Structure 1
């Protein structure tokens, strides 16, 4: 469910008409719904009712400060994967005891930043990382709380570029070596082993991979406790998918996901952490664009938009589907025609979809890409010197620009010309 609905034939974000925002900020732009973000966070929180738990928003999905501030106000924790994200989390109001640091390539500088600024735990992914973390913590005179990410070799049945739990993926340590690695961690002076971390991938639409992975985590918890480790926290990752293509079967609900967690690890007496990102942010946002031209080609037509692959890279990068709808609703019975929807960037890959059945449109019409709130603005670039596009947050009848479009002068003036080139043009 989201809060982007037609009213009197015009698409609205909550109570604000999309054309009203377009007139104020220009196209293209992202717009997010406060009500949808709030609802989706609470669905996860309610799914774990009865367990000691913390829902840690995976901010890589959408790291705008306004979105983060909303998550913090709802009582979320946050999962970060870089020093920059750590700084964003602190700036948005997250206290250190609600920040989880994940990722395979943490540097000594990032470790020191987090240990001095406050951290809930590091999700450690390798033996070299835990050794470096021990050195940094010992030098600072502190102890770093850690979980160790185990790779359960479970096929998440998702896109190969977002699968993380198979043996050939770069993430975590093989679960077959877990007892050996935990023993090594316990011997290091700057570390406190507090739990287990697992994350098998993103955009999962089947609960079976979760069940398989969490069952392995439960078995490992019991084994590690026999070995003398105080395993009191389980970080179960995120990855639950969203319905990008609404004509398809809907993915499992957070409540069903919560039942899997309770069934597999709920009797272990551990605090449970989960790290949803896509399902909280994905359907909370849309990308709005204007039609520049409708072009007739050899055997096909092209809808050329002012949004491009640099604004929303998922279709070019993953072959991802986004429902595309006109902001002005087509009358009932309107005949649909297949058309390629493309952007203006000088790349053949700047194609959002091919031969998508859509109602007739003309230059100046507005279209919306649904389910664009996650991995949209955060993955954008300024390729072709196209400015990053505005982000807007809606709350009831109100809307606010939460990231402005930079000017061309601001973009160009970031570059500097070395002294030996001055005057050479």
Structure 2
């Protein structure tokens, strides 16, 4: 049986680039394989879509690009050029943001921070999104005389939300406010922040309601917060065919049950578990099922009624209270703005009869180790006639676990050695989160792609300058 197809949603710019097969091969010859390609113009378009939603509601806002989503210099320079802010989660990212041209008042330092990171944040005069009480007290101790550090309090522990290891629990906010009052000559509270590990509108609305109450409590302490930071977590759209995704999921589960052809390698169950002749649980690839754009998710959140405010929309409540909304999108800004290209090394038959297509990259190059790629890679094969087949893509590490796809993938035709294989939409965490140099394989090059005057121009990511500067 040939598995159902799960085609990727491609930005028109990426689709146009891939139609030039000679151009793709030329890029591999010039920069080597495997290769990460980033498209800053798509980043700019994604940013414009989010800005349009916020502008419709006339909401005071700040968009902070979450640098951790990708190490690309082209992306962070594009963000700086666009005039937005940046969210950095390490000293290295802070240095990268400064090199890209972000001024101090457009840099926010987030995540858990030790003394070294806090000193770097202070040295940069950046806003500090405080994760815990120790950070808050240490900031007050480390801040130079006559320096007032702008801070946000990241809070967690909302009812109805999963427990989080990040942020100050709601039960500890009173202590945090006392610290801020005691050190008001060193620390200035800008507002409250949260980051939920979900895109569910109901949970976000609930968190916003709790944060508005915290703002009232801060006012009662003589503080004057004006910012509500709702973090990131806006989703991506991976697949061009939601029905195809569902068909594949059904076929995969049937294979796990033994009521259909097996489409899984070995004992991999993708997060499902089988019991009493049924498949239970949720898969590790659930994010690929999303069909809502980040802009639509944001619009729905801003339009959602806020409990306790007479049914008024969340966005209207923020505006009425003269609050500034901060967002920290990462995935949403690089959605569809990056692809990874590799070459086929050889094709073989395993002892099980499965067809393995070996590539010159590892699984960790295109996905986190505990996740599965559930959109089909694109094979630019030279053979013209279509001959659909089901294959597994294998990596180049001498490890059994280095199967790039541990599920059977539909290809239009079997590739040959040297054929390019494209993994779409890899810019968000996929290329950098688990990247390693195992077995002394080099880290793939990263190259920016620009569409200019009807043609595509490529340059090393480190050399890219927005506006041709």
TM interval, shorter chain, is: 0.7 to 0.9
What is the CA distance between 1:12 and its match in structure 2? 4.6
Q: Does 1:47 align with 2:53?
A: yes
Distance 1:87 1:323 in 2: 36
For 1:243 and 1:329, locate their aligned partners in 2 and report how far apart those are by CA, in whole Å: 29
CA distance in 2, matches of 1:12, 1:30: 17
**CA displacement, residues 98-143 of structure 1 (integer Å, 9 cap, x when unaligned):** 0000011x23232222223221x21101111111010011x44411
Q: Using a 3 Å threshold, how does the CA distance of structure 1 residues 215 and 327 change in structure 2: closer, same or farther? A: farther
Structure 2 CA distance for partners of 1:346 and 1:185, relative to 1, 3 Å = farther
Deviation at 1:336, TM superposition (A): 2.6
Give the aligned partner of residue 282 of structure 1. 335
Per the alignment, residue 272 of structure 1 pairs with: 325
Q: 1:38 aligns with which of 13, 26, 44?
A: 44
Quote how far apart the aligned CAs of 1:335 are: 4.3
* Alpha-carbon distance between aligned partners in 2 of 1:196 and 1:321, rounded to the nearest angstrom: 36
Equivalent of 2:294 in 253, 269, 273 = 253
Match of 1:395 among 450, 455, 465: 450
Matched, 1:370 2:424: yes
Partner of 2:165: 170
Map of 1:146 onto structure 2: 151
Paired residues of 1:30 and 1:390 also in contact (CA < 8 A):
yes
Instruction: Say which structure is richer in strand.
Output: 1
After superposition, the Cα gap between the structure-2 partners of 1:91 and 1:6, relative to the gap in structure 1 and judged at 3 Å, is closer
The answer to whether the Cα contact below 8 Å between 1:289 and 1:305 also exists between their aligned partners in 2 is yes
After alignment, is 175-184 or 51-60 more displaced? Answer: 175-184
Q: Over the residues paired in the alignment, what is the CA RMSD in angstroms?
A: 2.5
Normalising by structure 2, report the TM-score: 0.76
Task: Provide the rounded CA distance (Å) in 2 between the counterparts of 1:347 and 1:182.
Answer: 51
Which stretch of structure 1 is more off in the superposition, 341-350 or 391-400?
341-350
Deviation at residue 358 of structure 1 after TM alignment = 1.5
Looking at structure 2, the residues matched to 402 and 88 of structure 1 have their Cα atoms a distance apart, in angstroms, of 13
| Corresponding residue SS for 1:283 | coil
Corresponding position: 1:129 with 2:181: no
Q: Quick one: structure 1 residues 152 and 3, their matched pair in 2 at CA, closer, same or farther if it must change by over 3 Å?
A: farther
In structure 2, the CA distance between the partners of 1:16 and 1:47, relative to structure 1 (3 Å rule), is farther
1:245 CA drift (Å): 3.5
Counterpart in 2 of 1:56?
64
- Given candidates 210, 215, 223, the residue that maps to 2:209 is 215
Find the aligned partners of 2:411 and 2:145 in 1 and give their Cα distance: 60
Question: For residues 366-414 of structure 1, what are the alpha-carbon distances to aligned partners after superposition, in whole Å with 9 as ceiling and x for unaligned?
Answer: 110011012133231211111011111111121102259xxxxxxxxxx
Measured in 1, the distance between the counterparts of 2:383 and 2:85 equals: 42
- Would you say the 8 A contact 2:62–2:85 is kept in 1? yes
Matching residue of 2:125: 118
- Distance between the aligned counterparts of 1:323 and 1:225, measured in 2? 53
CA distance 1:330–1:11, shift in 2 (3 Å): farther
Residue number in structure 1 paired with 2:353: 299
**1:327 match:** 380
Does structure 2 retain, via aligned residues, the 8 Å contact 1:3–1:36?
Answer: no
User: Residues 302-313 of structure 1 correspond to what in structure 2 (within 5 A)?
Assistant: 302-313=356-367
The CA distance in 1 between the partners of 2:188 and 2:168, in whole Å, is 18
Shift in CA distance, 79/246, structure 1 to aligned 2, threshold 3 Å: same
Residue of structure 2 equivalent to 1:409 = none
Deviations along 1:176-206, one digit per CA (max 9) or x if unpaired, are: 432342233322352111200111126x3x4
Whole-angstrom CA distance in 1 between matches of 2:383 and 2:174: 60
Q: Secondary structure at the match of 1:381?
A: coil
Determine the C-alpha separation between the residues in 1 that align with 2:383 and 2:462.
31
Larger relative contact order (CA 8 Å, sep ≥ 6): 2
What are structure 1's unaligned runs of at least 5 residues?
Answer: 156-164, 405-425
Match of 2:390 in 1: 338
How much does 1:319 deviate?
Answer: 3.2
List 4+ stretches of structure 1 deviating above 4 A: 4-7, 328-332
